[in-house]
Amino acid sequence: MPGLRTAALSAATLLLLASAAFAQVSSLEGDVKGEDGAPIKGALVKIDRKDIKGHYQVKTDKKGHYFHTGLPLGQYKITLEVDGKDVDSVDNVRTTLGESVVNNFSMQETKQRQQSLAKAAETGTLTKDQERGMSAEQKAALEKAAKEREQALSKNKALNDAFNQGMTAMQVKQWDAAIAAFTKANELDPKQSTIWAQLADAYSQSASQKTGADQQAALDKGLEAFTKALELKPDDAALHNNYALALVKAKKIPEAQTELSKAAQLDPSNAGRYFYNLGAVMVNTGQNDAAGEAFKKAIDMDPNYADAQYQYGMYLLGKAQVTPEGKVIPAPGTKEALAKYLELKPTGPFADSAKGALTSIEGTVTTQYENPAAQKKGKKK
């Protein structure tokens, strides 16, 4: 029966062809490790055929191993995805019959390789082999990183130039020029507390050369800049101190005292100095009673702060009463403060003034002191 035989031969031929087609398959496998060298479970390995369109994928097991069989013979790109992000890839992997083609991924080696490539690109030493070994995605990422570095360097140069211009203007007391320079620096990087602090100081200094509404506007802008600086660096005692001095100029005494208290808490060793500075500013602005309170606080913080003792003594001297007979009755604590200054600084810059004040109270100087320029008694000319 020729027809039956022909049909049988055709079936045998089809079976042979199917067997041959079934045999033309291959497999890929490998291990995936993290930056710490430990296996990564659940990482997605994406396998894309390049010669003919085809996409396959498999996840790593608990040992970080992946295996995919049944792949047509061909050329592939293998991409590793971790936590939804492509982190590494290898291109032009050709599969073979028989044993699986092994391709491992090590995040530790990947990071080192990327750092090496980035450094080579940055220094202009990227070799042709390195460039050829990079995927299109890696090249794009490297170019993006290089562009970002270039922009950052350009920005930093402009920032430094603007800041230095501001500092130079401050040195020669060109406050408006300083304000313009620091404002430009802030536009380039608004997260630098030092720039905000310098801008605040420039506004505060410029206010001293203005009057009326212009002066108040400069003071307000200075205070606003100080608050910006403190938002960025709230633990800076010097910033709180300088902010307090600006508040005094704006006649906001309670707020100034609050800021100085913060400065003293942050920097207890210099607490006396902070309140002394407050007192000095208040004296210059004619707020004598508030100045006296500040000097007293400085002494409370540091009893051996000589200049604070003197200033407090002189403040109290202004509170002295004079009897009808002309006798001076000092306020309590006056003599003690002036005497303490002389004890701490017997030849200090305020020594003569302190002695003169004590003389006006007591009629005699209570501390031994000789003026080396004075003529010795009994010595002939």
User: pLDDT tens digits, residue range 292-312?
Assistant: 998 999 999 899 999 999 999
Q: How much is the average pLDDT of 350-378? A: 66
Q: How confident is the model at residue 290 (pLDDT cuts 50, 70, 90)?
A: confident
| Long-range contacts formed by 42-46: CB under 8 A, 24+ apart | 43/80, 43/81, 43/82, 43/105, 44/80, 44/81, 44/82, 45/78, 45/79, 45/80, 45/81, 46/78, 46/79, 46/80, 46/81
Kindly report the average pLDDT of the chain as a whole number.
82
Task: Give, for 65, the enclosing helix (H) or strand (E).
Answer: strand 65-72
Highest mean pLDDT among 53-62, 125-134, 264-273, 275-284: 53-62
Asked whether residue 207 carries a pLDDT value surpassing 80, the answer given is: yes
Q: How many CB atoms within 10 Å of residue 133?
A: 13
Q: What gap in Å lies between CA 137 and CA 253, rounded to an integer?
A: 61
Q: How much is the average pLDDT of 97-113? A: 87
Determine the pLDDT at residue 131. 58
Q: How confident is the model at residue 325 (pLDDT cuts 50, 70, 90)?
A: confident
Determine the pLDDT at residue 4. 45
Phi, psi of 55 (to 5 degrees): -130, 135
Asked whether residue 208 carries a pLDDT value surpassing 70, the answer given is: yes
Between the CA of residue 334 and those of 198, 281, 290, 315, 347, what are the distances in Å? 39, 21, 17, 8, 19
Asked whether residue 7 carries a pLDDT value surpassing 60, the answer given is: no
Q: How confident is the model at residue 14 (pLDDT cuts 50, 70, 90)?
A: very low
Check if the beta carbon of residue 240 is closer than 8 Å to that of residue 271: no
Q: Which of 73-82, 179-188, 233-242, 257-266 has the lowest mean pLDDT?
A: 257-266
Task: Give pTM, 2 decimals.
Answer: 0.50
The three-class DSSP label of residue 143 is helix
Determine the pLDDT at residue 257. 83
Asked whether residue 363 carries a pLDDT value surpassing 70, the answer given is: no
Percent of the residues in the chain that have a pLDDT greater than 70, as a whole number: 79
Q: How many helices (H) and strands (E) does the chain have?
A: 14, 10
For domain 24-120, which architecture applies?
Sandwich (2.60)
Q: Render pLDDT for 240-261 as a digit per residue (tens, 0 to 9).
A: 999 998 998 888 888 988 898 8
Which structure tokens are listed for 268? Answer: 């207890």
Asked whether residue 84 carries a pLDDT value surpassing 70, the answer given is: yes
Higher pLDDT, residue 125 or 327: 327
Highest mean pLDDT among 19-28, 125-134, 136-145, 222-231: 222-231
Check if the beta carbon of residue 103 is closer than 8 Å to that of residue 80: no
Q: Find the largest Cα–Cα distance for the chain.
A: 163
Determine the pLDDT at residue 12. 46
Check if the beta carbon of residue 188 is closer than 8 Å to that of residue 161: no
The three-class DSSP label of residue 119 is helix
Domain ranges of the chain: 24-120, 306-366
Determine the pLDDT at residue 105. 93
DSSP letter assigned to residue 191: T
Q: How much is the average pLDDT of 107-119? A: 77
Determine the pLDDT at residue 154. 66
Q: How much is the average pLDDT of 110-135? A: 64
Q: Residue 191: CB partners within 8 Å, gap ≥ 6?
A: 232
Highest mean pLDDT among 85-89, 165-169, 324-328: 165-169
Determine the pLDDT at residue 93. 92
Higher pLDDT, residue 29 or 3: 29
Q: What gap in Å lies between CA 46 and CA 56, rounded to an integer?
A: 6
Check if the beta carbon of residue 259 is closer than 8 Å to that of residue 244: yes
Which structure tokens are listed for 18? Answer: 């199917």
